[in-house]
Structure 1
Amino acid sequence: MDLAIPLHIVPPFSPIDDSTGLYAHEVFNVLLDHEIRYFERDGKRCSIAFIDIDFSEAFRVLRQQSEAAVIRKIGDILRSGIRQVDFGARYSYNKFVLAFVNSDGEDAHVALRRILGRIDEVFEGNPPINIGTATCPENGTTRAILVQRAIDALHSSRGEGQNRIIAFDPMNRMWLNNRPKVLIVDDIEMNIKILEAMLRPNNYEIYRAVNGKEALGIMEFNEIDMVLLDIMMPGMNGYEVCRRIKNRQSTAITPVIMVTALDDSESKIKGIEVGADDFITKPPNRNELITRTRSLIKLKTLYKDFTNIESVLFSLARAVEAKNPYTNGHTSRVASLSVAIGTRMNLEPEKIEALRFGGVLHDIGKIGISNQILNKSGSLDDREWQEIKSHPETGFRICYPLRKRLRHAMDVIRHHHEKLDGSGYPDGLAGDEISTVARITAAADIYDALITDRPYRPRMDAETAVAILKKEVLDAKLDKNVVEELQYITGY
């Protein structure tokens, strides 16, 4: 039988922590989620800081005051050290968290230094305090990731002494709880023990597997940072294990070092063909092993950081759409249609990927264009039209730091408004100067714009839109083959 609990004996939830005057933990989470959504919509940044305070020292210094009074005093200092728009919470007994709205890491550092100075003044150089910070979007674009990375930075601060403020550094994982994970795969136990003995003093977390199947199973459920892989194993040999690691999307960037007694060129060529990143000959030299392992893990971390930047760019692209209700979903539709056209044209996989990335990012340069222009219902004047025409070049500059990763997508971002007759912008390219991926996205972009409502005109039906594209082909502006494939896909 269900028992009803009388409402009068259910403790009411309080948004404020009574002991400090700061928000409750749950309220802080809601507010931080809200600030992250602001970033996704408007590109506004925010920083958070975890503060660990040794209360035992604080009580000793102010021994004439009660424990509650000391904790309240610390809460008062934290609240007075931040702006009205910022907010904080008591996270646990001796741990606090602050959020700095629309601020980068440097802004947060200034405020935290001010708070440290005030606590130092009140508590006569005590208590010991450690602070770790993380910033959105550089260190994460979800609350869970941002909080975890600020806590990771806090652990680093503890390791470097008291009264230290440490910002999360994605390139330095050696001090984090999440130590670099190395998987050693060898069917001979002694070989595993030798490698493990060389690596453990360098703060690596070691995983062990005695065959390929076991290794792949471990990687299915753990984010491994490095694989040291024997080649000559019964059943599935090292070449096949490496091939499967590199063919999995979730593990493709995980570096693999083949540790082998084979030292001939043919074996190394075969290893390169299946994606091996490096080779070490048995028995391994300790310094060589440590140097190569550290270098490849750093490269993997850097690549992951680029992936995070990609997610930031995609968030900015969504923010552009949010500025103009008429273009909601436009970039994803352009990306999907472009990929469909490229697939029918049998383009290489890297160019299909460029169509996907480029389709999503092609209008990212509009982030700097005012809403009044983007949502104007009438004709644009010359100044407004020039501002609109600047978006491909602006988008190209925004994405330029990732040019090696985006590759052909950079053509899409810069050249999706070029025309075959040279009348397009920003570079006035003509004919073969315009890449295939840019030609495809140009047609998909125009088509989607025509069949959706815009502030200056209502949507057209698909048949009329395709007829306009065909006219553009006759005027030597769009690629005939591209438009024919678009026509086939749309059925018009």
Structure 2
Amino acid sequence: MVSLEALHKILVIEDDPASAELLKEVLEQVNYRVIVAHDGRNGVKLANQELPDLAIVDVMLPTLNGFEVCEQIRSNQALMTLPIIVLTVFNEPQHRVRAIKAGATDFLNKPFDRLELLTRIRSLLDLKDEISKRELFQDVAYCLMTALNSRSPNVASHSRRVAKLVEQLGMRLSTPTNMISELVTGALLHDIGKLGLILSPEVVPEDLSEDERTIWKQHPLIGEKMFSRFHRPIVQKIIRSHHERVSGGGFPDSLAGPALEFPVRIVALCNRFDQISKGEPENWGEAIKTLQFETGQGYWDSNVLKELEKLLKLYSELGMNPYKGL
């Protein structure tokens, strides 16, 4: 099995041969791939050519000093987020400030401690990998939403409206900021699995045969599978479970009670509300009456419904349309 370290390439820019060899030896012992440059200008050239995962840069270098190396590396768009550890014998604050301004990510004093160096490298690479995964997730989500909008503008519009309501409700329910982001993303993608159906994304389940309805009910599972390679548990639960009910009887898992987590409850209710109101404020009253009846039957979370009613009342009093611009 290939180690995580072996998947990462580290550029060492160090003019002292003994120091460069020591760094190379320490890094290769834990299976990092290492490339070495002995002056600043060649270091920048290698960074642009090799696109390493992390750079270790000495301050005192010929041709370009470490600060200039950082500045030139950062001028390459592809290296804007490259973690850079600056090695220095200087410990004065002004040198650290200058390094930060030049684009350094972290600092390490010479002579360095082996364990501290490896710990900082691992931490920076883990953060870089997480950022890369999130950027990839956003790219994939954008492409799929673009495809959904092309195949079914109505379903895509429905998803955007649900996401908008979910965002507003999340704030009213004092949801942490990072959770709101996941809520909105899950709401936006909740119907993305309809892209994988042989049926039109815009079909109404009541108009389908029993066999067709069985196929239609697969869309939450298809949507969840589209993002199975990403670790976004809240988003994945929302996509999978947005047709579940508090009292049970929903699909695909017939979840009930505590098994239906709060983020899913918010999206499930907003999804149902928009199915009825179709984004038209004049339909809000009818939609709320239907939700009140269904909540009495145990379908939806009564606390979420109360907050939705308050939110819609506020919109009405202010003459606001929350969907404007979507």
Change (3 A) 1:330 1:178: farther
What's the C-alpha RMSD, in Å, of the aligned pairs?
4.4
Q: Give secondary structure in 1 for the equivalent of 2:244.
A: coil
Aligned-pair CA distance for 1:378 = 6.8
Letter of the 2:292 counterpart = K
> Does the 8 A contact of 1:419 with 1:430 survive in 2?
yes
Pairwise mapping of residues 109-258 of structure 1 onto structure 2 (< 5 A)?
177=49, 179-180=51-52, 192-193=59-60, 206-207=69-70, 223-228=80-85, 233-234=92-93, 256-258=105-107
Identity %, equivalent residues: 26
Letter of the 2:106 counterpart = I
Letter of the 2:269 counterpart = A
1:381, 1:469 → 2: CA distance? 26
1:178, 1:293 → 2: CA distance? 18
Partner of 1:470: 292
Bigger RCO (CA 8 Å, 6+ sep): 2
Change (3 A) 1:290 1:394: same
> Does the 8 A contact of 2:248 with 2:256 survive in 1?
yes
Aligned-pair CA distance for 1:310 = 2.9
Letter of the 1:443 counterpart = L
Match for residue 439 of structure 1 among 265, 270, 291: 265
Aligned-pair CA distance for 1:226 = 1.2
Change (3 A) 1:439 1:290: closer
List runs of 5+ in structure 2 lacking aligned partners. Answer: 1-45, 317-326
> Does the 8 A contact of 2:53 with 2:125 survive in 1?
no
The structure number with the bigger radius of gyration is 1
1:412, 1:429 → 2: CA distance? 13
Partner of 1:487: 309
> Does the 8 A contact of 2:195 with 2:201 survive in 1?
no
List runs of 5+ in structure 1 lacking aligned partners. Answer: 1-173, 186-190, 210-216, 245-253, 261-281
1:322, 1:329 → 2: CA distance? 11
| Deviation by residue 1:94-152 (Cα, 9 ceiling, x = unmatched) | xxxxxxxxxxxxxxxxxxxxxxxxxxxxxxxxxxxxxxxxxxxxxxxxxxxxxxxxxxx
Change (3 A) 1:285 1:373: closer
Q: What TM-score results when the alignment is normalised by the length of structure 2? A: 0.65
Letter of the 1:228 counterpart = I
Match for residue 187 of structure 2 among 349, 359, 363: 359
Aligned-pair CA distance for 1:401 = 0.5
> Does the 8 A contact of 1:412 with 1:438 survive in 2?
yes
Q: Give secondary structure in 1 for the equivalent of 2:180.
A: helix
1:441, 1:236 → 2: CA distance? 50
Match for residue 315 of structure 1 among 135, 143, 148: 143
| Deviation by residue 1:182-235 (Cα, 9 ceiling, x = unmatched) | 7889xxxxx6116x89x99xxxx93159xxxxxxx9899971401325795437
Partner of 1:304: 132
**After the TM superposition, which of the residue ranges 370-379 and 303-312 deviates more from structure 2?**
370-379
1:362, 1:392 → 2: CA distance? 7
Q: What TM-score results when the alignment is normalised by the length of structure 1? A: 0.45
